[in-house]
Amino acid sequence: MPLVTTKEMFKKAYEGGYAIGAFNINNLESIKGIIEACKEKNSAVILQCSTGAIKYAGMDYLIALVNAASKESGLDIALHLDHGPDFETCKKCIDAGFTSVMIDGSHHSFEENIKLTKQVVEYAHSKGVTVEAELGVLAGVEDDVVADDHIYTNPDEAVEFVKQTNCDSLAIAIGTSHGAFKFPPNFKPELKFEILEEIQKKLPGFPIVLHGASAVDPESVKTCNEYGGKINDAVGIPVEMLRKASSMAVCKINMDTDLRLAMTANIRKVFGDTPSEFDPRKYLGTAKDGVKAVVLSKIENVLGSENSSSSKKCGCNCGCK
Ligand code: G3H
Ligand code: 13P
Ligand code: ZN
C-alpha cells in the first residue's frame, strides 16, 4: 500500500464527523506502537516528523520505517512534516517522498506567512503533495520557538489566508498549547468553539487542524514521578472538547506529548521494578506498548476514526484486505 496524501482522508473525516490522529514519530517503537493500534481499529493515520525528529533519526531511516509500516499494515498512512520552518526543508521532504508538509509561518507577519505558504503550496502541488499552514499562535514550545501567549486565529484572516495561499488545511489557535506544561494544575482549559464555528461557517468543507492537543495523562505523569521522574503536574486538553472539535471542521489532531509520557512511564517502571533488566527489547517493548495503549484510547475517545482506513474490506480484526 503506497503512502497517501491527506486529501481523501480529510474529505472523509469532514463528512464523517471525525478526525485523523497525527502522531509524532522518532523511532521504531513509536511507529510500531501507533501502527499496531491503528491496525486494531482499522484507522487511517498521519505519521509526522518534526525537524528535530529528522535530525535525530535521519530522514532516510524514518522514510524507510514508514514505508515498511505502510506495506505491512495496508493502512491509509500519510507521512507528514510537522512544523516545517522554511521552503527548503519542505522541498527536501517533498523530494524525499513525504506526502504532506506543514509550512509553519505563524510567527511571521500575515503578509510574510502568505508569501511563504504560497511558495510551498506551488511546489508541493506540482508534486501532488498536500500542505498544512498555520495562522494564529499557540502558547508553549514549538521546536525552538517559545510563545508566552495565545494569539487566537482571526476568522476573517483565515478566509483571506486560505483564498490567497490555496493551502489544503489550516492549523488554528483556539486554546490548545504545545508540550507537557500547558496549563497549571487547577486551570480550567477552554477551547474557543465560537472561533471554530465562525471559521467553519466562512470556510465550509475546509479541513482545520489542532496542534498541542495532548491530554497530559495524569496517570503517566504519576508513574514517571513514582519511579524517580520529576515532571511537574500540569493540565492538558480535555478529551470531550477534542471529540467535539473532531465532530466539527477539525480533521487532524496532533498529539506527541502523551506518547512521550507513556513511553517514559513504562521504561521507568521496568527499570524500577526490575533493576537487573538490561535487554533493550524489554524496556523499549513496553515503551511501544505504552504508545499503542495511548493511540487506541485516542482513536476511541478523541478522534472517532475507527474504520476510517479504506484498505480493509470487512469490519473484523482479522487483517483481511
Ligand atoms: O509540536 C512539536 C512536536 O511535539 C515536536 O516536538 O520538535 O521536540 O520533536 P520536537
Ligand atoms: P502536544 O505537545 O500537545 O502533544 O502537541 C503536539 C503537536 O502539536 C505536534 O505538532
Ligand atoms: Zn504542533
pLDDT of residue 184: 86
**pLDDT, tens digit, 9 for 90 and up, residues 98-134:** 999 999 999 999 999 999 999 999 999 999 999 999 9
Rounded CA-CA distance 19/302 in Å is 8
**pLDDT, tens digit, 9 for 90 and up, residues 20-71:** 999 999 999 999 999 999 999 999 999 999 999 999 999 999 999 999 999 9
Q: Is 292 in the pocket of ligand 2 (CB under 6 A)?
A: no
Q: Is 168 in the pocket of ligand 2 (CB under 6 A)?
A: no
Q: Which ligand is nearest to the CA of 178?
A: 2
Rounded CA-CA distance 290/261 in Å is 9
Rounded CA-CA distance 139/173 in Å is 9
Lowest mean pLDDT among 118-127, 139-148, 160-169, 304-313: 139-148
Rounded CA-CA distance 314/289 in Å is 26
- For residue 213, being part of any structural domain is answered with yes
Residue 146 pLDDT > 70: no
- For residue 2, being part of any structural domain is answered with no
Q: What is the CATH number of the domain that holds 13?
A: 3.20.20.70
Q: Is 177 in the pocket of ligand 2 (CB under 6 A)?
A: no
- Taking residues 88-102, report their average pLDDT: 98
**pLDDT, tens digit, 9 for 90 and up, residues 219-267:** 999 999 999 999 998 899 999 999 999 999 999 999 999 999 999 999 9
- For residue 226, being part of any structural domain is answered with yes
Nearest CA to ligand 2 atom 5: 212
- pTM, to two decimals: 0.95
Domain that holds residue 226: 7-303
Categorize the per-residue pLDDT at 149 as very low, low, confident or very high, splitting at 50, 70 and 90.
low
Contacts of 246 (CB under 8 A, 6+ apart): 13, 17, 18, 19, 253, 302, 303, 304
Rounded CA-CA distance 19/257 in Å is 18
Q: Is 261 in the pocket of ligand 2 (CB under 6 A)?
A: no
- For residue 316, being part of any structural domain is answered with no
The three cell numbers of residue 283 are: 524496556
β-bridge pairing 169-172 and 145-147: unpaired
Q: Which ligand is nearest to the CA of 255?
A: 2
Closest atom of ligand 2 to CA, residue 138: 8
319 Cα–ligand 2 center, Å: 30
Q: Which ligand is nearest to the CA of 213?
A: 2
pLDDT of residue 74: 97
- For residue 314, being part of any structural domain is answered with no
Question: H/E/C letters for each residue in 137-180?
Answer: ECEEEECCEEECCCECCCHHHHHHHHHHHCCCEEEECCCCECCC
Rounded CA-CA distance 39/252 in Å is 18
Kind and range of the H or E run holding 295: helix 280-298
Cβ burial, residue 227 (10 Å; 0-12/13-18/19+):
middle
Q: What's the maximum distance between 2 C-alpha atoms anywhere in the chain?
A: 60
Residues marked active site are found at 82
pLDDT of residue 130: 98
- Please give the tally of structural domains in the chain: 1
- For residue 312, being part of any structural domain is answered with no
Q: Is 80 in the pocket of ligand 2 (CB under 6 A)?
A: no
Q: Is 48 in the pocket of ligand 1 (CB under 6 A)?
A: no
Q: How far is CA 267 from CA 107, 221, 253, in A?
A: 36, 13, 26
- Taking residues 175-194, report their average pLDDT: 92
Local structure of residue 305 (DSSP, 8 states) = -
- For residue 315, being part of any structural domain is answered with no
Q: To which residue does cell 508540550 refer? A: 179
Q: Which of 55, 80, 81, 143 is the best mutation target for the ligand 1 pocket, counting ligand atoms within 8 Å of the beta carbon and taking the most?
A: 143
Closest atom of ligand 2 to CA, residue 216: 3
Closest atom of ligand 2 to CA, residue 180: 2
Long-range contacts of 225-229 (CB under 8 A, 24+ apart): 226/272, 227/265, 227/268, 227/269, 227/271, 227/272, 228/268, 228/272, 229/264, 229/265, 229/268
Contacts of 294 (CB under 8 A, 6+ apart): 33, 37, 217, 255, 258, 259, 262
Residue 313 pLDDT > 80: no
- For residue 318, being part of any structural domain is answered with no
Local structure of residue 211 (DSSP, 8 states) = -
